[in-house]
Amino acid sequence: MLRRNIRLRREYLYRKSLEGKARELYEKKRKIKEALEEGKPIPTELRNEEAALRQEIDLEDEHTAVPRSHIDDEYANASENDPKILLTTSRNPSAPLTQFVKELKFVFPNAQRMNRGSQVVSEIIETCRAHDFTDVILVHEHRGVPDGLVISHLPLGPTAYFGLLNVVTRHDIKDKKSIGTMPEAYPHLIINNFSTRLGERTANILKHLFPVPKPDTKRIITFANQSDYISFRHHVYERHGGPKSIELKEIGPRFELRLYQIKLGTLDQNEAQTEWVIRPFMNTSKKHKVLGD
């Protein structure tokens, strides 16, 4: 298993190293295509390569015309099987953190909760790879308040680090009758205002935690981005009459996420390349939004 993981990782890094060359070749072919379509002369720097490039253009189809990236490879097989998620916490979790993770187990379908105990992160990742888990979610706390969420996609990454704010669990709500029970049906997803390239990347990481729902399911999960703070809301709806008489009820939990880092490896790889990280000057740039408008 260890040799296989090393080989897969080496192949993945090799494919990633070829991306720059593939992008350069794509740009050359794009310039030739534009020149031919507009009836302009071929750019001077491409005239020596024109014949070979035109032959490649003739052989391309819609699947091979645009170069693939390592990001495509990470989730290339995600639609073949439902996600299988392991939920765990930092060591010696407090009662509020344990309660929050118990509720997250019902938020994410096909999730399993594990008591951390004395296990180190590398052991957890290896065990999850051996048992075909697709993601590991690690929840942190500070003085009994959940304050961090780490999502690591297996087997190759990426790993996204989020800050947790304004956590309100179902356990905190006194009136239990008003929120009702939590359904376990696969939910519909509403992902709002992730319009930038980093926003699309973040939405891709979040949406692949959930399997494809049935069309008639009445459970809805929302990830709404506003000023780079991602609001998580969990609702069910009921129809009492016609299509306009829909009652929406929030059933919890609710919290806000703040992305602060994405790494290209898994959680146990300290040497993994950093794809994006928040910097101190970003906090003062009020008009600069990295996830969406």
Which pLDDT score is estimated for 65? 61
And the tokens for 252? 């919890």
* Per-residue pLDDT at 165: 94
- Using 50, 70 and 90 to split pLDDT, how confident is the model at 156? confident
Instruction: Quote the pTM value.
Output: 0.78
- pLDDT reading at 244 higher than 80: no
The predicted pLDDT at position 8 comes to 72
Look at residue 42 and tell me whether its pLDDT is greater than 60.
yes
Question: What's the CA gap between 154 and 214, in Å, rounded?
Answer: 25
Predicted pLDDT at 155: 84
Residue 9's pLDDT band (cuts 50, 70, 90): confident
Predicted pLDDT at 7: 75
pLDDT of 70 reads 53
Backbone angles phi, psi at 169, to 5 degrees: -90, 165
Q: Residue 285 pLDDT > 60, yes or no?
A: no
Instruction: Give tens-digit pLDDT for 197-234.
Output: 899 889 999 999 999 999 989 999 999 999 899 999 99
Q: Which helix (H) or strand (E) holds 25?
A: helix 19-38
Cα–Cα separations (whole angstroms), residue 187 to 147, 238, 244? 25, 14, 21
- pLDDT above 80 for 188: yes
CB within 8 A of 50, min separation 6: which ones? 32, 42
